Structure 1
Amino acid sequence: MNDNAKPSPRFSYPSAVLQKIAQDVLDQARKSGATACETDISDAFGQNVTVRRGEVETIEYNRDKGLAVTVYIGQKRGHASTSDFAPEAINAAVAAALSIAGHTAADDCAGLADADLLAREFPNLDLYFPWDLPVEQAIELAKTCEAAAFAVDKRITNSEGASVSLSESQFVYANSLGFMGGYPGSRHSISCAVIASENDTMQRDYWYSVARDAADLEQADSVGRKAGARSVARLGARKIATCEVPVLFEAPVAVSLIGHFVGAVSGGSLYRQSSFLMDSIGKQVFAPDIQIRELPHLKKGLASEPFDNEGVATHERKVVENGVVQGYFLGSYSARKLGLRTTGNAGGNHNLILDNGAGLEFSALLKKMGKGVLVTELLGQGVNPVTGDYSRGAAGYWVEDGEIRHAVEEITIAGNLKNMLRGISAVGNDVIVRGSKQCGSLLIDRMTVAGG
């Protein structure tokens, strides 16, 4: 364990104390009649500073802790939680979970993860980087960020604020199969949102950067400049006539398409038969040159984990190969419902990376599209996870002859996700890492764009 893996003394509890509490929970559950038990104990703190129009608007500190316990009586399950670590509160939580289990019907898929799948090794993935950021320094960073946005153009007339946030946490997960593991983690960010005005019209846009290590964040002034430039670029937005054209999803919104795919091939959707991608293993879902890998052990990865929420070891795998689905996203319960084994995804996916082997520069994507719509913002939630029908409000830019001509607003883009995923004709190399899914801009060969 290197220095970056050591918990900060700023946590409320040493990790050894969390481990002791976890063991006490397991012991209490066993003594009270549980046949199996698992518990998750966490301790976190954060700081957020927001500056608006050069003045401090908010300074927030948070300190949180929590304990969750799940007990099994045979295959009857009960769950309870508390934010109080006092022994009597912990005992009460265990008793509450047992009481719930006693009144719950047996479920033959319920239970702890299979013992042979639990993690036995815990590689250091460089997930924890304390940020020693005095509030005065955070305020100056936020002011620098916002000032850079205002300096972009005199048409930047207002601000929703610039924020600098740090967040650090640690946890311990343990179960009655003898598993106990945990580690600290961090997540820091800088963001800015400003408003541009011209001829009685206003447009808003934003930019942000997030990383586990503050040293990997975009510079504050760069974040501000991008927020300002994006807001100004949206001035003069027009409506367009309804048409069928290619649509280019800018990288920050393109990841939402990967999110819809993940939701459709996740255990809950599959065993409830509420997915547009039922029985998709071995089937062509994406364009033939699309690859998606899951890389849970990336150093500093925002979704890196040595084990999932059930203690199951995580492994690198190919989720999509040459457009063909190779695997689902399953925890133990959903896997048993489907007659399969967990994929180590209890709690979600880990660093999904989409590529097609030859990512294009953004300018090349525009040239390849020729004429169509570049989408930079999505609005609303018009996606049917059962049928795959897709219809969302959007804003962005009209592109003609491979060049951006003007901003567009009040449009709706529509299609079906099955056709959209198969219709990815190009992938950009402009990957922006902000979460558990990573891809460049995605060009969809054809969608319906409804204008005004």
Structure 2
Amino acid sequence: MSELASHDIPRSRQDLDRLAELADDVIRRARAAGASQAEVSASVDTGLSVNVRLGEVETVERTRDRGFGLTVYFGQRKGSASTADLQPDSIQATLDQACAIARYTEEDPAAGLADADRMARDFPDLDLWHPWDIDTAGAIALGEQIETAGRAHAGITNSDGAGVQVGESLSVYANSHGFLGRERGTRHSLSLSLIAGQGDSMQRDYWYDSRRVPTELIDARALGDKAAERTLSRVGARSVSTRECPVLFAPEIARGLVGHLVGAVSGGALYRRASFLLDHAGKAIMPAWMHIAERPHLKRGQASGNFDAEGVATADNTLVDAGVLARYVLGSYSARKLGLASTGNAGGIHNLIVQSGADDGEASNFAGMLRRLGTGLLVTEVMGQGVNAITGDYSRGAAGFWVENGAIAFPVEEITIAANLRDMFNGIVAVGTDVDPRSHILTGSILVGRMTVAGE
């Protein structure tokens, strides 16, 4: 058993107990120093990372990172400080710094802890803790197997390497309402990047998998095959002439579109009036068949949690209902700035599920989505940061495949796709059932009826 795997369930609970005791003690000391409110976040993250390239070990890294953050409130004056050292002297210095900052900052009417009656009370097991019983030698051997499987394909000429990552995270959040929440989770991943072709015709692509449970990871051979298949499929890529056409976003790219939606309806963008969806709650922003729901209590979910970053209880909630924006995404500070209530999203969203609009499974799997696309562009990669959150203008470099009559015709590169996110959201034709499970945004491919594709 590896050093990491020996960090078993009883040991993890002992570490959480120590973090909880530290948090409780610091909050008590902050109150004694004059703070009217205080909150603490403390964490310990451990990991093993191995990278193998061309049959040789490139890197082996073991990590054990500690974090401690403290925020104190003197009335509505706020001070925050943090440290990566959990020794008593460093903790005391952090407390002193936070209090000093709070005493000299301006009052902010929205400052303060989340409301006490919103604190989580129930903490069901979400099945997030699955340590991986693999040592360094085993991780290296697995990386070699992945790379060997990928390089065995004819046409693969080089490798950027295979990676094996093992991760465990323990964290505590506590505040002066008397709330104390503990979380522990594991996250493990495998990856491979390959190169095909020679000279100017070289193409690079990759594949990866990420899971809470190591036994659910794709096996080495399948990962190698998938990375090689994707890389080889790009050989011979060319541009296309500028045109308007339907665009199908592959699932791993489609979740980015949903991410732009989340960013636009999040509190920080809204109270700064820096969102193209300002004042859109209760308005239609997508087709009437579309539904997007938040499910924070999914077992083994990538972003499951019983409480948010302020201790507010999480709950199933709807974001888009029959195409209508049902709510914003708020923590307590942004909610107060907007005159609203927290939605339990301090720190981010929890497991968004984008529902497919199709009743027929054959019509909404990936092959079915290609048939719905007909003739147009399948996007498998986007590049650049060309998204204006204020206006909604969207313009990004892209690569993928040109599709004719529902079948892939040839690979495409060196193009730009452009539209406005308002029009893109309203112009969604279909959502596939080919859901990518590697993210907290669970969506299949998304077909947008019309975008500008700029090429030759």
Secondary structure of 2:320's counterpart equals strand
Separation (CA, whole Å) in 2 of partners of 1:218 and 1:78: 45
Q: Which amino acid aligns with 2:48?
A: Q
Separation (CA, whole Å) in 2 of partners of 1:88 and 1:379: 45
Task: Say whether 1:309 aligns with 2:309.
Answer: yes
Secondary structure of 1:302's counterpart equals coil
Q: Which residue does the alignment assign to 1:323?
A: 323
Task: Say whether 1:361 aligns with 2:362.
Answer: no
Give how far 1:180 is off.
0.5
How many residues align structurally? 447
Give how far 1:356 is off.
2.9
Q: Which residue does the alignment assign to 2:122?
A: 121
Match of 2:396 among 384, 387, 392: 392
Separation (CA, whole Å) in 1 of partners of 2:335 and 2:129: 31
Separation (CA, whole Å) in 2 of partners of 1:9 and 1:60: 25
Separation (CA, whole Å) in 1 of partners of 2:356 and 2:168: 35
Separation (CA, whole Å) in 2 of partners of 1:90 and 1:28: 11
Give how far 1:183 is off.
2.0
Separation (CA, whole Å) in 2 of partners of 1:166 and 1:9: 19
Give how far 1:132 is off.
1.3
**What is the 5 A alignment of 1:74-153?**
74-152=75-153
CA RMSD of aligned residues (A): 1.5
Q: Which amino acid aligns with 1:63?
A: R
Name stretches of at least 5 consecutive residues in structure 2 with no aligned partner: none
Give how far 1:402 is off.
1.0
Q: Which residue does the alignment assign to 1:204?
A: 204
Offset from partner CA, 1:133-172 (integer Å, 9 cap, x none): 11111111111111111122x2101111110101101011
Q: Which amino acid aligns with 1:303?
A: A
Secondary structure of 1:367's counterpart equals helix
Task: Say whether 1:162 aligns with 2:195.
Answer: no
Separation (CA, whole Å) in 1 of partners of 2:129 and 2:238: 46
Secondary structure of 1:14's counterpart equals helix
Give how far 1:325 is off.
0.7
Separation (CA, whole Å) in 1 of partners of 2:394 and 2:215: 39
Offset from partner CA, 1:191-237 (integer Å, 9 cap, x none): 11100115751001110000111111111221111111000000000
Q: Which amino acid aligns with 1:256?
A: G
| Alpha-carbon contact 2:356-2:432 (below 8 Å) kept | no
Task: Say whether 1:372 aligns with 2:376.
Answer: yes
| Alpha-carbon contact 1:308-1:344 (below 8 Å) kept | yes
Separation (CA, whole Å) in 1 of partners of 2:70 and 2:430: 46
Separation (CA, whole Å) in 2 of partners of 1:13 and 1:42: 13
Q: Which residue does the alignment assign to 1:64?
A: 65
| Alpha-carbon contact 1:283-1:325 (below 8 Å) kept | yes
Give how far 1:408 is off.
0.6
Separation (CA, whole Å) in 1 of partners of 2:345 and 2:312: 8
| Alpha-carbon contact 1:155-1:197 (below 8 Å) kept | yes
Task: Say whether 1:408 aligns with 2:412.
Answer: yes
Give how far 1:188 is off.
0.4
Separation (CA, whole Å) in 2 of partners of 1:79 and 1:238: 52
Give how far 1:327 is off.
1.2
Change (3 A) 1:443 1:285: same
Name stretches of at least 5 consecutive residues in structure 1 with no aligned partner: none
Q: Which amino acid aligns with 1:187?
A: R
Q: Which amino acid aligns with 1:382?
A: G
Task: Say whether 1:434 aligns with 2:434.
Answer: no
Secondary structure of 2:437's counterpart equals coil
| Alpha-carbon contact 2:356-2:444 (below 8 Å) kept | no
Q: Normalising by structure 2, report the TM-score.
A: 0.96
Change (3 A) 1:191 1:10: farther
Report which stretch shifted further, 293-302 or 177-186.
177-186
Give how far 1:364 is off.
1.2
Q: Which residue does the alignment assign to 1:255?
A: 255
Secondary structure of 1:377's counterpart equals strand
Offset from partner CA, 1:30-69 (integer Å, 9 cap, x none): 1111010000010110001111011111111110111100
Separation (CA, whole Å) in 1 of partners of 2:222 and 2:127: 25
Separation (CA, whole Å) in 1 of partners of 2:147 and 2:10: 32
Secondary structure of 1:337's counterpart equals helix
| Alpha-carbon contact 2:356-2:433 (below 8 Å) kept | no
Give how far 1:10 is off.
6.5
Report which stretch shifted further, 381-390 or 50-59.
50-59
